[in-house]
A and B are shown apart, each in its own frame.
Chain A
Amino acid sequence: MENEMIVGIGGAAGDGGASTGDNLAQTCSRLGLHVYVYTSYQSLIRGGHSWIRLRISPQKKHNVGDQVGAMIALNQDAMDRHLQELTHGGICVYNGDKVKPGKAPEGAQLCPLPVFELAGKDALPIMQNTVALGALTQLLGLEFSALSSVFEHTFAKKPQVVKLNVDAAKAGYDFAAKTYKQIPHPLRKTDAQLAMVHGNNVLAMGAANAGCKVYCAYPMSPASGILHWMGAHGPSLGICVRQVEDEIGVANMTIGAGQMGVRAMCATSGGGFALMTEAIGMAGIMETPVVMINVMRGGPSTGLPTKHEQGDLNQAIGASQGDFPRIIMAPISVADCYDTMEEAFNLAEKYQCPVIVLSDLLMSEGRFSIETSHLDREFKIDRGEMIFEDDGKPKSYYRYKDTPDGISPRAIPGVPNHLYVSATDEHDEDGVLISDVFTDPVIRKKMVDKRARKMQGVVADYAKKLKLEGPENADVTLVTYGSTWGVATEAVERLNKEGVKANALSFKYLLPFQEKEAQAILGKAKKIVVVELNKSGQFARHLRAEAGITAHAHIRKYDGEPMEPKHVVAGVKEVLKGKEVVEVQSLEPGWRTPHPPGPGVLSTTSTH
């Protein structure tokens, strides 16, 4: 752990923990240190308990990690809940005037701060956070100037507020320097040029960079961040943003815009996505390009609105009645969220179909450092076969012309001499309905075939090919989809260090599936272990259905918290002992449950 530090900040909602975490993250990012932030919070506006974890490292990390090395306890509750999670040599910073210390684990350092003395008796209660942050900055070995520059940036229009915060932070910094011991391996800055972003920021900015012109949404956690970004930036970027009365309206409005010839997008979470499903079928049969994001959270129904899960794959595959082609992709990291937007819009327009993007709470609401160069890139725009102008030649234009690749050139409404009506009823090449005729099996089959045929070219167009990470000829191959890549790739490193030869294969594209590539790679795997965050093994079933590959074992988690590398490492060890299904669980104390006892990671291990 020499090259990294995981910091936990605990407090009640409204205590200012979030902004303390933001300020620390921004400070680190300005020093070129990579940050990965995940917040466990309650669906409350004030009160409750929230626990922010920041993984800070000179190297890029792709998951939240699993050892807390330093913490700030903003209240007694945070002290009581989390002190025991500190690693050997860890530090706990808190307001000594208000919070009573707990029993620190062996080798951990308790660092009470005399906040009244340091910030002054008249200081607002929130200043305890700033004092603590200043102290932590010192104890982690971070440069104070980076922290003060963050205050200057945040409160650019309020110089007095900047001074108050800088003074309080400096008092904490100086007190810590003379009173406590710095961590053994202080964090040192790097030359990396980083930005701190939420996954939702990246999805939204990616959509804008891909030329999205109409964005519709109904507020729903954890997707609302995209709406907020669009609401703030849409007017200046020429993006029309509508908050709609429900997700049925959202999906239909987005499709109406896509049909009219703009790049259009909507986003929601599983419950909203359920309301959108009939419209997805409309986009399928009308062949309307549209991008729909489902930011997955714990389900079913209202489920766990503020918790992480990968449980909506079945929903995405089965969304809407009937049998029609769609593209489904799940970005594997926050950087990939950006690239995914480029690809999603291009594929939607080229293949004239709905593209469903499965993000999740971990990526969308987590905060991450990302190289500014990654964001500062012009996207390739491929709009497929479109007709923007009439060439003046006499013609009979068929919107749904049956072509060898199934793709019919799309005239945007407004172009003379290309009139057509797009219907949700089955129709012929010219758009005329066949639903009301006596019967027409020939046309029906022709049109179903035409739409299905479009998908033949998609897999070859995917930007990323399947690739094993880690040594070849491994004894264990971890298989994931979406953001779980981040934890599997680190587990592979740790397993190999511990003498278990392991590698990993991650899937981003879920439909159409990279069947042949998957078979070529996994056909040689000795032990396939699917790692995913749901109970029933949705991706394992998908792999079996699409590629005929049955996994040998499974590591699953569905307790609401993200998977950590230690869960996967321990899970693999169980698998090597012969277990087929290993269910893992986080060790955080719950609302009604105490801290799970013992050092064990596995709460349940079952054999099927």
Chain B
Amino acid sequence: MATATLPARDAKLYKPEVPPDWCPGCGDYGVLTVLQRACGELGIPNERLMVISGIGCSSNLPGFFRSYGMHSLHGRSLPVATGAKMANHEMTVIACGGDGDGYGIGQGHFIHAMRRNVNLTYIVMDNEIYGLTTGQTSPTSESGMKTKSTPFGNPEGQLNPIALALAAGCGFVGRGFSGDINHLKSLYTQAIQYPGFALIDVFSPCVTFNKQNTFGWFKERVYKLEDKGHDATNWNAAMDRSKEWGAQIPIGLFYKNPNPKPSIDAADPALQGEGLAKAKKLGLTVEQRKKLIQEYV
């Protein structure tokens, strides 16, 4: 993708007339602002961007971002985004949503989209809670956490999306914090430029329903992998870092495959020319029909 060579644009160009209606102080504001700045920095024209979400508070993001977009079904942003990328691989496709959307109901698609290695960026606004349904446990809620659905404490284990992504073959695995905007922006620009599936899990605190994993809670715990000399080309090192949770929680680039295989769209024989959606003449040619009929006579 030639986006890196485009002249930078003003981040305001990605702000639509409709302002976000998230709760004041929500972590998702940071995620949105950074995405607008990152796209500006990369100079991607608005009409070349397709932003696709699922359902949940964070999945409202495409409505607050000036580009083409789809606000799809709960948990289905990745298959929808994959289809969109196949239909026009010349577009920059960004999928987004929350932890319930991507790691709960959409978990199956999450694993397979990484295995499939579609060239798109997936931003998960991870707040460890179901917000839009007013505060139930999510797959990333900590064990023991009290929520409306687990008033006596979450009896289940906590999902580790970073380890899962690494195991599923994701070639670009990063984690950010919406309380550290400049750090997050760098992850975005790298992810969008990465020629394959790129995951960015973002700690994006829910100020209304998650009283446990707050901005302050994260601020006390997060540290940057790059400050600790982590080698992001080392898969085993990334796997080791992914297990850290508690007093010290790493953010930054866990893993970037130094020798990525071509993404599924880049390798697909049908996608070697311009985007399929641009085809003007549809249907089989006379020669193609004759050849196909010959198989049956």
A residues within 8 Å of B by Cβ? Answer: 29-30, 193-197, 201, 205, 208-211, 213-214, 216, 233-242, 244-246, 248-250, 252-264, 278-279, 282, 286, 372, 375-379, 381, 383, 388, 412-425, 432-433, 436
Contacts and interface: CB of A to CB of B under 8 A. Distances in A.
A264 B78 CA distance: 17
A436 B21 contact: yes
B296 A421 contact: no
B270 A424 contact: no
Contacts of B109: 245, 248-249, 252
A433 B284 CA distance: 40
A419 B68 CA distance: 5
Contact of B297 (A194, A236, A259): A194
A458 B292 CA distance: 32
Interface residues of B, number: 61
B269 interface: yes
Given A30-B297, A209-B284, A425-B71, A262 B277 contact: yes
A421 B69 contact: yes
Most buried by B among A238, A375, A421: A421
B63 A423 contact: yes
B184 to A, nearest CB: 23
Contact of B283 (A210, A236, A421): A210
A493 B70 CA distance: 54
Contacts of A422: 69-71
A383 B83 CA distance: 19
Contacts, number: 216
| Cβ-closest 7 pairs across A and B | A211-B282, A256-B83, A260-B87, A261-B277, A421-B69, A195-B296, A256-B80
B47 A413 contact: yes
A419 B270 contact: no
A424 B72 contact: yes
A424 B55 contact: yes
Given A246-B108, A423-B71, A432 B18 contact: yes
Interface string B54-73: 01000010110011111111
B32 to A, nearest CB: 14
B163 interface: no
B43 interface: no
Interface in B265-282: 268-271, 273, 275-280, 282
Nearest to A433: B63
Contact of A378 (B70, B88, B283, B292): B283
A245 B51 CA distance: 22
A237 B288 contact: yes
Nearest to A421: B69
Given A196-B296, A414-B277, A242 B91 contact: no
Most buried by A among B78, B276, B296: B296
A249 B108 contact: yes
Given A245-B109, A256-B79, A421-B62, A375 B289 contact: yes
Given A261-B88, A286-B70, A421-B70, A255 B282 contact: no
B170 interface: no
B53 to A, nearest CB: 9
Contact of B292 (A233, A250, A419): A233
A188 B73 CA distance: 58
Contact of A213 (B87, B111, B292): B87
B79 A381 contact: no
Contacts of B112: 244-245, 249
A170 B297 CA distance: 22
A278 B106 CA distance: 14
Given A210-B282, A252-B79, A262-B276, 14 more contacts: A213-B87, A237-B284, A245-B112, A249-B109, A252-B76, A253-B83, A256-B52, A256-B87, A257-B87, A258-B87, A372-B293, A383-B282, A413-B84, A432-B63
Contacts of A239: 270
B48 interface: yes
A421 B73 contact: no
A205 B276 contact: no
B84 A238 contact: no
Contact of B296 (A201, A245, A388): A201
